[in-house]
Amino acid sequence: MKRRQFLATLAAASTISPSIVRAAEPEIFQTGGVAINGTDPVNYFNAGKPDSVMNKHSVSWKGVEWQFNTAENAEAFMATPNDFAPVFGGYCAYAASLGYLAPTVPEAWTIYEGKLYLNASLRARELWLQDIPGNIAKGQANWPGILG
């Protein structure tokens, strides 16, 4: 089968059954059922930095375990989770602005207008910072369609 025929067949199959092309991704970025690499999202707001990722306190929200370095942070999160949970489910905000999902690392973050945004790398964060309002608008336009 020639490449052109193969691509045409693949395109036709994806219109018949899109589920064979891509499975839906979870709403929250997680590894082993733990959100955002086990980093305490409240700590970004309270301490202005990510924590050590060795957290003793955890809660379940949106079907995922969220970890916290203090019981007070866990309680604050559960009282108003949307105030602390990262935008775009903890996936890379810059990638969301480009229309795809990427995992994140704790040290690549920004708080903008009271919301937490995470990025895949420090380089992605640099690109994100070049136009935060524009990148947010693009990411919101792409979300949640990029989840699959």
pLDDT per position as a tens digit, 100-130: 999 999 999 999 999 999 999 999 999 999 9
Residue 20 inside a domain? The answer is no
The verdict on pTM exceeding 0.85 is no
- Determine, yes or no, domain membership for 64: yes
Q: What b-and-e string marks burial along 22-40, b requiring 16 or more CB atoms within 10 Å of the CB?
A: eeeebbbbbeeebbbbbbb
The domain of 41 spans: 25-147
Examine residue 14 and state whether it is found in any structural domain, yes or no: no
Please say if the pLDDT value at position 17 is more than 50.
no
Q: What's the pLDDT at 23?
A: 58
Specify if 7 maps to a domain.
no
Instruction: State the average pLDDT over residues 42-71.
Output: 93
Provide, rounded to the nearest whole percent, the portion of the chain with pLDDT above 70: 84
Answer whether residue 12 shows pLDDT above 70.
no
- Which residues contact residue 127 at a Cβ distance below 8 angstroms, ignoring those fewer than 6 apart? 94
Query: Does residue 132 sit within a domain?
Result: yes
Q: Mean of the pLDDT values across residues 21-45? A: 89
